[in-house]
Chain A
């Protein structure tokens, strides 16, 4: 008998746990401006490197450099900063409202504001996003009224969804924002279907799918890549890699694959990694992918490398699973601060104007909050009718639901 080695199971572990020294030395950060910008009709096999690099525009000094720079005007950049600041202020107020018991649950974007705010600007009216729970910047950057978002968060009498959905699971067809499910990854393949429909109808609109690093492990992610690849659907497949899926580090979903973007390569889908905390880089890459989709060149996979500074939701405490100071050690910095510094360097912004703008935005958010709270909060004031439980299950209420509504006294 020869000796056969005993097997052992490999279970990946993050580099550091609470109590340890944060370590991002494995995150290789290329110099800003160093990654080439290929033409949109490039053959996928010629840009395989882009799935392993990180496209960056803003350098450490706040300058916009390289082939992906120069796409946004001063006004557009100022609006971008304002949208990110608005989202951050909105989050802070709503997080506080949850702590005050005005709603059951909240999820904030802290550190990830650039991803959804910049992406929205690469789409046009009529395009459709299939978002997850951390892309409210798509609504903010499209000027969806904050008060409507708050009405939904409070499940009050003015809630456009009539109290039926968890807080932040918004829906707005008008603003190109598909109803958030709350289940993970299901919407990824739906976005591909929407894009296929646009192509079937010879339309000009495109779709965008959204998923987090953890949920790329779901089979629906792979289904989406199969369908997008097969039918060359005009869809942008976004992966927001914020390093953490609740308490699970990204290595559990990524496994032996070098990057999440690399998942696209086997499907023949061009895959790009981008600095998710760089507003200019996010916009530039999204614009490139949108251009490809609109020219009927098919799908693009984009991995946004970012960091979830806050908790996953109001239901978890990150200090239980990662070092408290990890966010400070994150090598790609803060998206708001980075754009602010760039605008100051560009000579169109200043510390004073920034402070003033913060105050104006806070005032705007508080005004919206006051208006929303005049319609009630989850446990106080106006609320949706019990009748709303029974409405809208079907276009026409069937007899058995009508009998149950009557039984409930409505």
Chain B
């Protein structure tokens, strides 16, 4: 066991995978010699050579398109889009190509690629470095969508994603790279080295894709969250004293519906939390599923706490980000409902 930040955990996952399988290649903007703007691929080119870890032109549709071609050949590309906000030029390749190659060719060709991308806000990145586009992926059949919340999960899930036979969108909450940020931006974040989930095995292990984890057992209300919002929800539960059960989805697609349903049937209340905008966000899907499967157990309307339906602002970041105060208010609201 070692203490790792989420950056180190992600890097370790790629290192382990590249060491075990010569077909794993890593590329993207600035990922080669320099090791990526967040340093996730640091040292991989030196260790595995520049034909297995290399810099790509600033061309996201080209990065996706070439990765798809490599996967058709038989490689397992694990590529980086520098910020999730930059993925839009590649969206055509992701949705109409990567996601459908297995289906449209009846398995004659497949597309085992992983697309890593830093996601979410909290770093004063403004509207082009703060977005959370996960719902744009969960709406596309043929993709798997993962959002880890800690180093241990990030490594195990990333190795599982690289070994998965289908395309996986791997969204890394950038505000969690160095510690479990709980939305209290005025306080320094606890480093992962002082957190249990910063303890990460150095070798190979996987976490099954599609399994949620209960981060805090509770009886009063179920909070469904993923990524940074897991830590925000935990803080809100502590600060309000409401006995919330906090579920970390980890994988949005496939979704661990059983864990959600089991919890809501127990608590009778549900709050869904994400950083992404409200309308047509993933929270809407979770809310619909909860009412379909738990309607007669619900004692209050389901509440969503999300980013506002506006572009992500710069100066007003902390009025936009759904922090512990907003989640806490929602918990109180649903308890009174």
Contact pick for B69, options A190, A398, A399, CB 8 Å: A190
Q: Which of B57-115 contact A (CB under 8 A)?
A: 57, 59, 61-62, 65-70, 72-75, 89, 92-93, 96-97, 101-110
CB distance from B85 to the nearest CB of A (A): 18
Contact of A194 among B59, B73, B108, B254 (CB under 8 A): B73
Is B109 a contact of A171 with CB atoms below 8 Å?
yes
Candidates B52, B69, B70, B93; contact of A130 at CB < 8 Å? B69
CB neighbours (8 Å) of A171 from chain B are: 104-106, 108-109
Partner of B103, one of A187, A197, A392: A392
List residues of chain A with CB within 8 A of the CB of B70. Answer: 193-194, 196-197, 200
Are B57 and A230 in touch, CB under 8 angstroms? yes
Give the B-binding residues of A (Cβ under 8 A). Answer: 128, 130, 160-162, 164-165, 169, 171-173, 178-179, 181, 183, 186-201, 207, 219-220, 223-224, 226-227, 230, 392-395, 398-401
Is B25's beta carbon under 8 Å from chain A?
Answer: yes
Q: Would you give the shortest CB distance from B253 to chain A, in whole angstroms? A: 8
Query: What is the bound-complex CA distance between A399 and B256, given in angstroms?
Result: 9
5 contacts between A and B (CB under 8 A): A193-B69, A194-B72, A196-B69, A227-B56, A398-B254
- CB-based contact B257/A400 at 8 Å: yes
Say whether A393 contacts B66, CB under 8 Å.
Answer: no
Q: How far is the CA of A190 from the CA of B100 in the complex (A)?
A: 14
Complex CA gap A169/B65 in Å reads 19
CA distance A25 to B56 in the complex (A): 44
Known: A194-B72, A196-B69, A395-B165. A186 touches B97 (CB 8 A): yes
Kindly state the separation between the CA atoms of A93 and B102 in the bound complex, as whole angstroms: 30
- Do the beta carbons of B102 and A392 come within 8 Å of each other? yes
Are the CB atoms of A219 and B108 closer together than 8 Å?
A: no
Contacts A186-B96, A400-B257 hold; do A223 and B62 have CB atoms under 8 A apart? yes
A164–B105 Cα distance when bound, in Å, is 8
* A193 to B73 CA separation, bound complex (whole angstroms): 9
**Could you tell me if B59 and A395 are in contact, using CB atoms closer than 8 angstroms?**
no
A399–B74 alpha-carbon span in the complex (Å)? 28
The answer to whether A226 touches B97, judged by C-beta atoms less than 8 angstroms apart, is no
What residues of A have a CB within 8 angstroms of the CB of B59 in the complex? 223, 226-227
Residues A173 and B75 in contact, CB atoms below 8 Å apart = no
Can you add 16 more A-B contacts, CB < 8 Å, to A128-B72, A227-B59?
A: A164-B106, A171-B104, A186-B65, A189-B61, A191-B69, A193-B72, A194-B72, A197-B69, A220-B65, A220-B92, A223-B59, A226-B59, A394-B166, A395-B165, A399-B254, A400-B254
A219:B89 contact, CB within 8 angstroms: yes
Q: Is B51 close to A, CB under 8 A?
A: yes
Q: Is B141 at the interface (CB under 8 A from chain A)?
A: yes
Residues of B within 8 A of A161 (CB): 104-106
A189 to B89, alpha carbons, bound, how many Å? 13
Q: Across the interface, which residues of A come within 8 angstroms of B72, CB to CB?
A: 128, 178, 190, 193-194
A4 to B189, CA, bound (A): 61
